[in-house]
């Protein structure tokens, strides 16, 4: 599929990288046009027009930033694009607005109480935009040298940056090397590195190197080689979340703790202090509060305590927009013996706007499969696509998607670049979906261990 160049001595470049592709990595946005009308296939999203349109309206509410504490529930059968819509909203909002995604079960942790987890999640979704002076390193890359030690496997590296007036060499730590390879930074790129946070941004390619390369990405801009000093203090607009400010103020080495993941419970006094300070800054015009989005997937896993907490928290003026998602019907509300729609109590449902997602039709399934094929870098013949679409309709969309890469591997085994019908048939017979699995179990119940079903039917017959 993809090849990796052997590292040369002075310059180390990987031609392409095999990146792990996630289930929703093909989503780039909601795919809406200027009037908020969803295009049929756009930005990775297919069909599901009603839901996407509704999400688009919510998106604009979020962007306006004036309304806090709204909640939305996306409900629908499994495999109907709930998480995909949330991802679409996240990507459409961009990097500026904090988006925290979590699954319902993450609340339950031994280190923190449920309400603390929820409070932290809430505060992670509210950003404070501040103008700050940070030290940055800005220059055109002359040379990058990365060596991998044969004994310890640790990578060390150097990068040479220049401006119109000077040149400097920097030593790179492991995390920096990772960022550099991930962003595919090469000689001729003009980059900015924030010394404090370690973030690298590519500003573009230098004009002087323009003639050397033919194939450039669509977003590549050409910029001037920077002037003056390499190390500068610049005013940067910085978005920090309330949670980060909490952590920094609650302990001495706060910033490092953020990375080591050890947060623990934070005093409510500190939180109150921070709240009043942020309100002060807002008055003085030093900072802006940016309410973001908190996405809780599998929300039926939360229990009645969490729901009561949510009810209250949603009413504060510091609440982010909360998007919930679930695929349950009328089920038990955890922590009680009552059943409720979607596994949620009615008072919480009342506070939510509910978006329904519907199962896809055949044409939509086909488009989704085509997009996934592209994302996973797999070539397929038309007939194979037909067969796969039919499988998707008969069984489930997810099963069909999972067959794509497996069929590709089978095709490679017979030395073909394209997946054909026989490959799809082979994987279909090798990996069964849950419908066939259930059927098989029904037929062969008795042969499995700990079989209760047989005894039960016997008991019923006797009675």
Residue 29: half-sphere exposure toward Cβ, Cα within 13 Å: 14
Q: Which residues pair with 73 in a beta bridge?
A: 324, 354
Contact pick of 14, 132, 377, 451 for other proteins (by CB under 8 A)? 132
- Residue 329 CA to residue 300 CA, distance in Å, equals 10
* Smallest distance from other proteins to CB 397, Å: 42
Contact pick of 80, 117, 125, 163 for other proteins (by CB under 8 A)? 163
For residue 343 the two structure tokens come to 């596994």
Among 24, 97, 75, 129, which residue's Cα sits nearest to residue 376? 24
* Smallest distance from other proteins to CB 12, Å: 17
Q: For residues 252-271, which are near other proteins according to CB under 8 A? A: 253-255
Q: Which stretch binds other proteins (CB under 8 A): 88-96, 172-180, 383-391, 434-442?
A: 172-180
Q: What are phi and psi of 413, to 5 degrees?
A: -60, -35
- Beta carbon nearer to other proteins, 164 or 361: 164
* Smallest distance from other proteins to CB 50, Å: 42
- Residue 18 CA to residue 263 CA, distance in Å, equals 33
CA distances from 319 to 90, 101, 130, 292, 349 (A): 17, 15, 19, 9, 17
Contact pick of 170, 220, 223, 433 for other proteins (by CB under 8 A)? 170
Among 257, 284, 262, 253, which residue's Cα sits nearest to residue 128? 284
DSSP code at position 310: H
* Smallest distance from other proteins to CB 287, Å: 9
- Residue 115 CA to residue 319 CA, distance in Å, equals 15
Contacts of residue 367, Cβ cutoff 8 Å, sequence gap at least 6: 40, 41, 46, 47
For residue 187 the two structure tokens come to 């000689």
* Smallest distance from other proteins to CB 170, Å: 6
Q: Which stretch binds other proteins (CB under 8 A): 72-80, 155-163, 311-319, 398-406?
A: 155-163
DSSP code at position 337: S
Contact pick of 30, 107, 137, 378 for other proteins (by CB under 8 A)? 137
Contact pick of 18, 166, 363, 430 for other proteins (by CB under 8 A)? 166
- Residue 463, Cβ density class (10 Å: 0-12 exposed, 13-18 middle, ≥19 buried): exposed
Contact pick of 14, 96, 165, 183 for other proteins (by CB under 8 A)? 165
- Beta carbon nearer to other proteins, 240 or 289: 240
CA distances from 13 to 140, 154, 175, 189 (A): 17, 17, 17, 14
Q: Which ranges of 78-173 does DSSP label H, i.e. alpha helix?
A: 82-93, 114-124
Q: For residues 185-214, which are near other proteins according to CB under 8 A? A: 193, 195-196, 198
- Residue 149, Cβ density class (10 Å: 0-12 exposed, 13-18 middle, ≥19 buried): exposed
Tell me the helix, strand and coil percentages in the chain, rounded to 5: 40, 25, 35
- Beta carbon nearer to other proteins, 131 or 221: 131
- Beta carbon nearer to other proteins, 4 or 166: 166
Contact pick of 176, 270, 289, 349 for other proteins (by CB under 8 A)? 176
- Beta carbon nearer to other proteins, 115 or 249: 249
* Smallest distance from other proteins to CB 235, Å: 13
Residues near other proteins (CB under 8 A), total: 34
- Residue 265 CA to residue 112 CA, distance in Å, equals 6
- Beta carbon nearer to other proteins, 7 or 228: 228
* Smallest distance from other proteins to CB 166, Å: 4
Contact pick of 277, 385, 425, 426 for other proteins (by CB under 8 A)? 277
- Beta carbon nearer to other proteins, 253 or 415: 253
Spell 382-401 as b/e; 16+ CB within 10 A means b: eebbebbbebbbebbbebbb
- Beta carbon nearer to other proteins, 95 or 337: 95
Q: Is 312 in the site for other proteins (CB under 8 A)?
A: no
Binding mask of the shown chain, residues 212 to 251, with x at each position contacting other proteins by CB under 8 A: ----------------xx--------x-x----x--xx--
- Beta carbon nearer to other proteins, 253 or 459: 253
* Smallest distance from other proteins to CB 66, Å: 24
Which residues bind to other proteins, rule: CB under 8 A?
130, 132, 137, 158, 162-176, 193, 195-196, 198, 228-229, 238, 240, 245, 248-249, 253-255, 277
């Amino acid at each position: 599929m993809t090849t990796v160049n052997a590292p040369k001595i002075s310059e180390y470049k990987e031609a392409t990288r095999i990146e792990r592709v996630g289930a929703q990595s093909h989503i780039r946005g909601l795919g809406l046009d200027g009037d908020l009308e969803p295009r049929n296939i756009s930005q990775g999203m297919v069909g599901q027009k009603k839901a996407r349109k509704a999400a688009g309206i919510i998106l604009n509410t979020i962007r306006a930033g004036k309304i806090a504490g709204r909640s939305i529930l996306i409900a629908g059968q499994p495999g109907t694009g709930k998480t995909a819509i949330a991802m679409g909203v996240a990507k459409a909002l961009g990097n500026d607005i904090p988006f925290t995604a979590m699954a319902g079960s993450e609340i339950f942790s031994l280190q923190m109480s449920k309400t603390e987890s929820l409070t932290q999640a809430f505060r992670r979704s509210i950003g404070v935009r501040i103008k700050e002076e940070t030290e940055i390193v800005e220059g055109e890359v002359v040379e990058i040298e990365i060596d991998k030690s044969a004994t310890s496997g640790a990578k060390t590296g150097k990068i040479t940056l220049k401006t119109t007036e000077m040149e400097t060499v920097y030593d790179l730590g492991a995390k920096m090397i990772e960022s550099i390879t991930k962003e595919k930074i090469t000689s001729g790129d003009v980059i900015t590195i924030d010394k404090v946070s370690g973030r690298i941004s590519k500003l573009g390619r230098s004009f002087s190197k323009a003639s050397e390369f033919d194939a450039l990405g669509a977003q590549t801009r050409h910029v001037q080689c920077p002037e003056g000093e390499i190390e500068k203090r610049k005013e940067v607009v910085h978005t920090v979340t309330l949670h980060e400010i909490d952590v920094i103020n609650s302990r001495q080495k706060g910033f490092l703790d953020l990375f080591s993941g050890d947060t623990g419970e934070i005093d409510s006094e500190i939180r109150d202090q921070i709240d009043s300070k942020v309100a002060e800054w807002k008055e003085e015009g030093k900072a802006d509060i940016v309410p973001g989005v908190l996405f809780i997937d599998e929300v039926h896993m939360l229990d009645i305590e969490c729901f009561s907490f949510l009810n209250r928290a949603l009413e504060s003026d510091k609440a982010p927009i909360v998007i919930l998602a679930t695929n349950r019907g009328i089920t038990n509300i955890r922590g009680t013996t009552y059943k409720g729609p979607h596994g949620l109590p009615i008072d919480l449902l009342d506070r939510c706007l509910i978006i329904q997602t519907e199962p896809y039709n055949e044409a939509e399934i086909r488009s989704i499969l085509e997009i996934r094929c592209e994302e996973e870098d797999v070539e397929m013949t038309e007939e194979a696509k037909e067969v796969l679409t039919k499988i998707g309709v008969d069984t489930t969309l997810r099963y069909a998607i999972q067959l794509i890469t497996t069929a590709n591997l089978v095709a490679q085994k017979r030395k073909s670049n394209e997946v054909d019908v026989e490959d799809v048939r082979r994987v279909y017979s090798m990996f069964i979906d849950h419908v066939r699995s259930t059927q098989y179990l029904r037929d062969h119940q008795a042969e499995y261990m700990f079989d209760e079903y047989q005894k039960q039917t016997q008991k019923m017959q006797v009675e």
